[in-house]
Amino acid sequence: MLSSDNLQRMIRTTALSFAFLQLFILSSYAQKTLPLAGKVIVIDPGHGGSAATDSYRQGPTGEREEWIDLRVGILLKSLLEEKGAKVLLTRSEDVTFPLAARSKMAVDNKADLFVSIHHNATADPAVNFPIIYYHGLASENAASVEFSRHLAKNLAKYMYKKKTPVSIVSDFTIFSAQGASVLRGSYGIPGVLAEASFFTNPAEESRLKEKEHNLNEAIAYAQAMEAFLTKPVPQILPKSQSKFPPQFQTLQEAERMSPVARRWMQDYQEAKVLMKNKDEASLQRAYDLFSQSAKSFPDSPVARDCHKNRAALLRKLGKTEQAIQEETRVREFYPVKP
């Protein structure tokens, strides 16, 4: 027979064992079901420390891109840490930090994921939508394209009240020679450089100053990461230079603020009308206008269609070889319809 003391001790021990068992089950459940637990994530808030020297990265009332990038990066870090991820920020203050050191941080720490946080600028104040860049070719960098799809969905959901197009494009669309430094340097790790919105849009600039909007953006990143890491990560293949389409020269940052660049949508729409004609002069003019639109705004929601139509026109004009190259450009640099 058990004494009351013994009985109480036994109950206590049993209760304790159950508590430990529950804890054990919970933690192994957490490891299996919390996709971010233990993952190394490098967050790179773009730019930094350039307020005195750079007037381009500034909204209509003076809000600066590097400040927004940093605020979102810091919020994202704490959201990810709550979910058990190991997070590294390339910069946690408004200071300059070399591009090569940013990607090196991802490589040295064997990151599972790398995101470079940016916000965009353009001459047309009405423009506002997200653009996500992956490095290189879509057929080789499947993991980053897959992550881009998750991020596109979540940025549209958390940051935009109305339906918005999202551009998912290769970084070679804007840096035609080598792509973006931070993505090139971290190639092999799933990663993107994302421009969540345009601070040159006055209403968006004012939203970007609010913590709630910054937090919504951070939530979009965190949700995208969680969804991406829940499934097996697609393989990233080594880059094969021979598969790259010929370089397509585009306007660079400051040039994209010019009056010619502001015609990107008009050029596209005029080209679409001309394309319906049968005569060669109209087709050639349509081709030139599609080219100009893609050159002015190579990552716009219509840029993919510009290149698709360039390919179709080249076929009509009997330039088959060039048409094939354009079709490759669409497939590898513009894999997703915005």
Residues forming the site for Zn ion (CB under 5 A): 46, 118
What is the closest distance, in whole angstroms, from the C-beta atom of residue 36 to Zn ion in the complex? 25
CA dihedral 146, 151, 153, 157 (to 10 degrees): 170
- Pick 137 or 193: Cβ nearer Zn ion: 193
Residue 87 — φ and ψ, nearest 5°?
-115, 135
- Pick 109 or 181: Cβ nearer Zn ion: 181
CA–CA distance, 42 with 89 (Å, rounded to integer): 6
What is the closest distance, in whole angstroms, from the C-beta atom of residue 73 to Zn ion in the complex? 12
**Cβ atoms within 10 A of the Cβ of 33, count?**
9
Of all residues in the shown chain, the one whose CB is closest to Zn ion is: 118
- Pick 121 or 143: Cβ nearer Zn ion: 121
What is the closest distance, in whole angstroms, from the C-beta atom of residue 70 to Zn ion in the complex? 12
Residue 268 in tokens:
């596209």
- Pick 67 or 244: Cβ nearer Zn ion: 67
Bridge partners, residue 58, by sequence: 64
- Pick 70 or 314: Cβ nearer Zn ion: 70
β-pairing, 191-198 with 131-134?
A: antiparallel
CA dihedral 216, 221, 222, 224 (to 10 degrees): 120
What is the closest distance, in whole angstroms, from the C-beta atom of residue 101 to Zn ion in the complex? 17
What is the closest distance, in whole angstroms, from the C-beta atom of residue 264 to Zn ion in the complex? 19
CA–CA distance, 52 with 60 (Å, rounded to integer): 16
